[in-house]
Structure 1
Amino acid sequence: MSIISWNCRGLGIPRSVRALTRLVRAEAPLLIFLVETKAKVSHISRLQTKLDYTQGIIVPSDGKSGGLALLWKEGTNVWTHKYSNSHIDVVVTNTTSNMRWRATGFYGHPDTQKRHTSWKLLECIHSQLSLPWLVFGDFNEITHVEEKCGWAERNADQMMAFRNALDACDLQDLGFSGSNYTWCNGRFGSQRTLIRLDRMVANAEWMNLF
């Protein structure tokens, strides 16, 4: 089983659509979570047809910002629980074993001063259902200074608030392979910044299943 979670920073560029199409064909994921689509429902619907992932939940962008989508193929047993402009929460059922687990695509608030609302949302989602749980997406925060390279120091209280939220929800980082960082500010020299903002976390029950 594979799941794709990608902050695409806009799907209006043909190059982005081609890259996503290649990735989906190579990985054949169960779920595709797209963050910052910056697109209307009609645009995502056309993309769904192209990918043959015709089922899902689309949260349209607010003008030229935001936008989420969680997509899956027809025939996949997925029940939509709740969603907002910051998350999409579903329950996946294995049709052969009848095993159920939660999948939550998550987008942390891009404004540092409002990010505490993201952690309150995460804890609220945690309290709503008791199932094996996987959360994935762009959290817009790091847990430790080692997840950032370059320029200004990260506020320690910000990182602690994120760690506390993960602990409160019994979520553990699943680790990664490849690059240590998932975002770059595109600058060079002393102002260049690399950060690991994207991750997958899960509770012990989910890790025991997979």
Structure 2
Amino acid sequence: MVFLCETKLSGREMRTVRTKFDGYEGMEVDSVGRSGGLTFWWKKGIRCDFVSASVPYMDFVIREEGGDWRVTGFYGWPAVADHHLSWQLLRILGRHSSLPWICIGDYNEILYANEMKGGQWAQWQMNNFREAVDDCGLVDVRYEGYSFTWDNGQAGVDNRQCRIDRVMVNSEWFDKFPYARLIHLSREWSDHSSIKLISDRREEGGQGRRRFRFEQVWVGEAGSEEAVRRGFERGGWDMMTALRESAEELQA
């Protein structure tokens, strides 16, 4: 599946682009003039049911034998003064369904100060985003690659970079795809990096993930405290991510 935001194209123009890629179906949201515009594609054969869409989002349910799940493409309002509309919408979407949920897109906001390079970011902006994410029960999918997904293209002291493109999921989605990982691809022609989600259900050659349980024996085991420390360093400031990383370190 492919989600593109800020296409700056009408739905008709975007459909013309899609016809050049054989094997895909999709839907589009018109740009407003040459601002915004969304499109969501899926491979033919995937049962993808449309739920709703508007200028800042597209919402679908994927039908599978193993159980349905939900995918939302999200584009946050660019202007800081309108960010509260983004978080209001995110909360509304979060209440729409109890299905396993993945929300992917450009949120035009960062969660933590270490997700930016150059310039300054107001703490209240990050706090508001974090509160909305917590209210929706969402957590980050761990990523590989360069830390920042947007670059303003300026040189030297005027350069600004940040991580505003991300994939967030609820715990039910993680249970379906326990080995999911996100890759930040190289930035080529855009000011944004493309991000690629690999939604593996099991490790290569493995039998799937067993649910993590803390073993009392780890308390006195040499190296267990160091393993937890490494997990929290890798997980950053997000508690759920840090705990998941710590669990993997302890089981390694």
| Same structural fold, with TM-score higher than 0.5 when normalized by the shorter chain | yes
Deviations 1:37-56 (A, max 9, x none): 00122221122111125422
Partner of 1:10: none
Residues matched between the structures, number? 177
Is the counterpart of residue 42 in structure 1 residue 12 in structure 2? yes
Deviations 1:152-204 (A, max 9, x none): x1000000000000000000000211110000111112111010010000000
Q: Which runs of 5+ in 1 are unaligned?
A: 1-30
**Aligned with 1:165 (options 132, 137, 143):** 132
Taking the TM superposition and a 5 Å limit, the aligned residue runs for 1:1-210 are 31-94=1-64, 97-151=65-119, 153-210=120-177
Distance (Å, rounded) in 2 between the aligned partners of 1:144 and 1:154: 9
| Moved >4 Å (runs of 4+) | none
Contact 1:53/1:71 (CA < 8 Å) preserved in 2? no
Distance (Å, rounded) in 2 between the aligned partners of 1:129 and 1:46: 32
| TM-score (ref. length: structure 1) | 0.82
Who wins on radius of gyration, i.e. which is larger? 2
The sequence identity of aligned pairs, in percent, is 38
Partner of 1:20: none
Partner of 1:27: none
Distance (Å, rounded) in 2 between the aligned partners of 1:157 and 1:105: 25
Contact 1:107/1:140 (CA < 8 Å) preserved in 2? yes
Deviations 1:136-160 (A, max 9, x none): 0000000010000012x10000000
| TM-score (ref. length: structure 2) | 0.69
Letter in 2 for 1:178: G
Letter in 1 for 2:147: N
Letter in 1 for 2:129: F
Distance (Å, rounded) in 2 between the aligned partners of 1:74 and 1:204: 28
**Helix, strand or coil at the partner of 2:98:** coil
Distance (Å, rounded) in 1 between the aligned partners of 2:93 and 2:55: 14
